[in-house]
Amino acid sequence: MPAARAARTCALLALCLLGGAAQDFGPTRFICTSVPADADMCGAAVAAGGAEELRGSVLQLRETVLQQKETILSQKETIRELTAKLGRCESQSTLDAGAGEARPGGGRKQPAAGKHTLGDPSRTTQAAETLSQLGQTLQSLKTRLENLEQYSRLNSSSQTNSLKDLLQSKIDDLERQVLSRVNSLEEGKGGPKNDTEERAKIESALTSLHQRISELEKGQKDSRPGDKFQLAFPLRTNYMYAKVKRSLPEMYAFTVCMWLKSSAAPGVGTPFSYAAPGQANELVLIGWGSNPMELLINDKVAKLPFVINDGKWHHICVTWTTRDGVWEAYQDGTQGGNGENLAPYHPIKPQGVLVLGQEQDTLGGGFDATQAFVGELAHFNIWDRKLTPGEVYNLATCSSKALAGNVIAWAEPHIEIFGGATKWTFEACRQVN
């Protein structure tokens, strides 16, 4: 009798499990368990076997997810390797050409691209792009040395010539290091640690060269008037810029004028930006992507008719008044556009930071390489009033009646440069085009 009861119990348990077959947990098994005569046998069956079956199913699912994740990671690694190979080819061609520029992004507020290089998911591509920019920096140093050679011919001294020869020798050595590093990358040699060490050595040597060449150039600077200079931004980076040592007062009208020269495409970048506490885009001039140049006031936008990326010097001016937000744009002494309702009745805020060559996403920083200005800039002046068309024309034609800015006047002691930006002697209208 007990055996028969046990058999009936197992049969009932089997029926209970079959009755719950709608929940498919995979392969099943029958477990016979002795339970009290008055107990719920189906409930006992679930308690005894259901938890174990669920646990097994969860483990199976987890294993499947891990396998899929490994497959996805493997595919991503293949994509990175292909991207790296393409980056190495592009970097090598850039070094052979001796110059190159990063393509600007399509917005004013793009995420930061990382310190010193444009961002890339591949470490190898990052290293190749870094070496590409180092090669361009070397080319810039060569150009500066050529200018110093011309200066030394007029002011020959054995000390200047010997120092110049030493610097030329160091530049040649650095070029060999850069090309050697590119070859190593193409052959797949050298890990991330070696890349970092090599880059640190080269950047340290470049910093030393910048300092030594700046010492030579100081002789030129001391002999020129305070406003006869230009700034050069040869590369599109997030660390090369100039800072105006003075801030702006509260202004209800202004005129900003400058000389610009650029061949960057599709956009020249940001010639200047003024960030105030609480508003990074208080006053900005920017040309990004294939869009027209824009004037931003309190983050409000006006499209400007400037066409200046032809590699020639151009004189540009923008005037604005808070009343009705009326603005005017001048290129080479001629008004080319105007409008209204640009941040009307909003005064320009004081106590901000004025930067040349970069767009600020934060007060005095947050630079994005894709928005950097590439080219040359001179005679940046600001007035706290709207200049007349005649006054603008006098500036563009270098008339003796031309005025200096009463808020910001172009003077060498007022400008501090960073990240490899340089100062050169420049005299408007004599050196134009």
Ordered structural domains, the chain, with CATH: 245-425 (2.60.120.200)
Take residue 304 and report the two structure tokens written for it.
Answer: 């400007």
Residue 401 confidence (pLDDT): 82
pLDDT digits (tens, 9 = 90+) for 236-276: 999 999 999 999 999 999 999 999 999 888 889 999 999 99
Q: Where do the DSSP E strands lie in 51-182?
A: none
Assess whether pLDDT exceeds 90 at residue 182: no
Confidence of residue 151 (pLDDT cuts 50, 70, 90): low
Residue 345 confidence (pLDDT): 95
Q: Does 271 or 33 have the greater pLDDT score?
A: 271
Average pLDDT of the residues in 372-383: 96
Select from 307, 283, 305 the least CA-distant residue to 295: 283
Q: Does 23 or 354 have the greater pLDDT score?
A: 354
Among the residue ranges 120-129, 130-139, 169-178, 337-346, the one predicted with the least confidence is 120-129
pLDDT digits (tens, 9 = 90+) for 295-353: 999 999 999 999 998 999 999 999 999 999 999 999 999 999 999 999 999 999 999 99
Take residue 219 and report the two structure tokens written for it.
Answer: 């002789």
Contacts from 114-122 at CB under 8 Å and sequence distance 24+?
114/238, 115/238, 115/239, 116/237, 116/238, 116/239, 118/369, 118/370, 120/83, 120/87, 121/80, 121/83, 122/80, 122/81, 122/83, 122/84, 122/87
Report for 41-55, 94-108, 272-286: range of highest mean pLDDT: 272-286
Residue 22 confidence (pLDDT): 42
Residue 163 sits at φ, ψ, to 5 deg, of -65, -40
Q: Are the CB atoms for 82 and 68 separated by under 8 Å?
A: no
Assess whether pLDDT exceeds 60 at residue 113: no
How many angstroms from the chain centroid is the CA of residue 295? 20
Residue 290 confidence (pLDDT): 82
Confidence of residue 202 (pLDDT cuts 50, 70, 90): low
Query: Three-class SS of residue 120?
Result: coil
Report for 61-65, 125-129, 293-297: range of highest mean pLDDT: 293-297
Global confidence as pTM: 0.56
Residue 124 confidence (pLDDT): 56
Give the whole-number percent of the chain exceeding pLDDT 90. Answer: 40
Residue 400 confidence (pLDDT): 84
Average pLDDT of the residues in 380-384: 97
Residue type (1 letter), 369: A
What average pLDDT does the structure give for the chain?
74
Q: Residue 329: enclosing H or E segment and its boundaries?
A: strand 326-331
Take residue 172 and report the two structure tokens written for it.
Answer: 């040649």
pLDDT digits (tens, 9 = 90+) for 71-82: 666 656 655 665
Question: Tokens 């004599």 belong to which residue?
Answer: 430
Residue 155 confidence (pLDDT): 52
Integer CA distances (angstroms), 125 to 81, 89, 113, 369, 431, in order: 9, 10, 14, 17, 39
Average pLDDT of the residues in 392-403: 91
Assess whether pLDDT exceeds 60 at residue 7: no
Select from 101, 170, 89 the least CA-distant residue to 136: 101
Assess whether pLDDT exceeds 50 at residue 12: no
Query: Three-class SS of residue 25?
Result: coil
Q: Does 111 or 181 have the greater pLDDT score?
A: 181
Q: Is 85 left (phi over 0), alpha (psi -120 to 50) or beta?
A: alpha
Among the residue ranges 13-27, 337-351, 377-391, the one predicted with the least confidence is 13-27
Q: Are the CB atoms for 352 and 275 separated by under 8 Å?
A: yes
Residue 103 confidence (pLDDT): 37
Select from 321, 363, 356 the least CA-distant residue to 339: 321
Confidence of residue 287 (pLDDT cuts 50, 70, 90): very high
Query: How many residues would you count in the chain?
Result: 433
Q: Give me the helix-helix angle, 158-186 and 192-222, nearest 10°.
A: 160
User: Half-sphere exposure of 117 toward its Cβ, with a 13 Å CA cutoff?
Assistant: 20
Average pLDDT of the residues in 132-139: 66
Query: Three-class SS of residue 272?
Result: strand
Question: Where does 155-258 have alpha helices with state H?
Answer: 158-186, 192-222
Q: Are the CB atoms for 336 and 330 separated by under 8 Å?
A: yes
Assess whether pLDDT exceeds 80 at residue 27: no
